[in-house]
Structure 1
């Protein structure tokens, strides 16, 4: 365990599937509630943690949106993201592509500008002080309408020089990617990268829709793609990155045991899988913890860990020269740790 953990933590890696609101630790929730004079339905940090027992995605989302109520000021978003960046820097991360849910905040009257200014300042600070680069991906909430997504895209236009892409998250079942086909066309025309949650709880058909109707650059989760051999072969052929979140899958009962997680099978099939933490404050582990627990449960080899690390950069939205630099750093690290 010690050797594995040390190797994993030192291994250069990127995180491609992280909801910044999902890094809100209970202690932060209480701190922000105090300074913003927000009443919480919980009496203590322990009571919050006890509530983090989910049987499905919707159970989690209910408390996730409740927790976000404490995020009101630019400093809240800055402090939230700064705490996250410090944690992943200690986990060996060199780069992160983070999701944010503007509608969760603008629907409460928090200006779009307040959210992004706080996040941008934390991103800039992380690069300067921690050496961790980052990109920001705006997610549309799929339980809301496509018209609401168009409104959010309009609000984002003054900030598109700092927003790398758009995504699709929240309640998957009953809200297929097809519902957002037009707004994704509009986003692509603006030069944005596009990603979408598909195949977490939703069927393989949702993955097909994400590929064919949204024309995504990568798939977030994608576990249920393995139920369809033709779809799996297509994802391999296209070199499509899957941003897999093992501890999230366990916590949300997508898998019943980490030892039955499909990550190793994905690698065996030639899929470009990556390991990510999703909503780590709620799901019991940041980036390295996902790597370590999954490696132990599945018996991942050193070579497979290196493949996962390289996938995390080749699947990123970094420029080719930046990707090459990170891949060279991985090779140097592996050579130095025989």
Structure 2
């Protein structure tokens, strides 16, 4: 559609109101300190922090690994099906408030099965929250199982086999955790198996890792989306390919700032990616740790980069089109998106 003129002062309201998809959210990364302490008390888990405030003060990360260390410690309180449900339900309620109509939620089963938590417990709790979100919040939520890339491909295969009895409860697989030193091709065979099973494939690449990791994710793992991908800007040939093939990038601005990928949000390259014709989207990654859910990622990034309603429409529409929802659902959401912009243009 031709983007109608909308007064700049209404942009924050528009960013909240427009329907959008969140495609890069680690559910364990939505675990707020208050819920961590509540679950620790419920399950009798001792934490190395005396209070919620002390835990929040520990969220001073210098890179991806310093974040992951505290991230895995927080996940230790998740033991029962109800814990996983409560964590996901808390996120989904926030997502609905931010105008999310579709959420494709990453979960890391190896983080939990390594502690003796059964795969069934993890998936059942998360799936039940997704079902409730559709019925009560109008959020279409699905699960994507992620492999931890600092572990071996053999362990990824074992995790996949453990999860297959619940194949109907997740739509795809991803690759996350420590990027540097763990190139995508390390997981070539397991991703080939996942494609045979009809699973959607995505992978983290080009966050801290080089553009070469993005190439490998596309050519070796044959992923449909790149999670992060901001380092792609260093490779003009890669940028051209991403634009030509309409490969979605699930960009996470506040995460990139918090992990020092960009020292200042004003230096973020989201505008550059959009101006180059890339199918970029905005997402929250690990919002409990990085200072903002999807709404905050939009509002802070737009303020820092001076983005306008045209960028807002493109980002929202990109997210809906890049989702793994049905064509019918996408069309309906895009019609709603168009209607919101027309209403705002008319002063409604």
Q: Structure 2: how far apart are the matches of 1:57 and 1:304?
A: 28
Question: 1:234 matched to which residue of 2?
Answer: 241
**Alignment-derived partner of residue 207 in structure 1:** 214
Partner of 1:34: 41
On the 8 A contact 2:11/2:308 being kept in 1, the answer is no
Residue matched to 2:134: 127
Once residues 42 and 192 of structure 1 are traced to their aligned partners in structure 2, the CA distance between those partners, rounded to angstroms, is 39
Q: Which residue of 1 aligns with 2:5?
A: none
Post-superposition CA distance 1:203-237 (Å, at most 9, x none): 00100100000000000000001100000100111
How far off its partner does 1:162 sit? Answer: 1.7
Deviations 1:118-175 (A, max 9, x none): 0011000011000000111000000000000000000111111121100000000000
Q: State the 1:321 CA deviation.
A: 1.2
- For the residue of structure 2 that corresponds to 1:337, the secondary structure is helix
- The counterpart of 1:173, out of the listed 180, 191, 215, is 180
Paired positions, count = 338
Q: Distance in 2 between matches of 1:25 and 1:2?
A: 31
Residues 123, 169 of structure 2: 8 Å contact kept? no
Describe how 1:20-169 pairs up with structure 2 within 5 A: 20-169=27-176
Q: Is 1:194 aligned with 2:213?
A: no
Structure 1: segments with no counterpart, 5+ residues: none
SS of the residue 2:56 aligns to: helix
Cα distance in 2, alignment partners of residues 169 and 7 from structure 1: 32
How many Å separate the matches in 1 of 2:80 and 2:13? 37
Where do residues 154-303 of structure 1 align in structure 2 (5 Å cutoff)?
154-303=161-310
What is the correspondence of 1:322-337 to structure 2 with a 5 Å cutoff?
322-337=329-344
- Structure 2 alignment gaps of length 5 or more: 1-7
Distance 1:11 1:322 in 2: 16
TM-score normalised over the length of structure 2: 0.96
Deviation at 1:3, TM superposition (A): 2.8
Corresponding residue SS for 2:125: helix
How far is 1:4 from its partner? Answer: 2.5
Give the distance between the partners of 1:251 and 1:151, measured in 2 at CA: 33
Deviation (angstroms), 1:301: 1.0
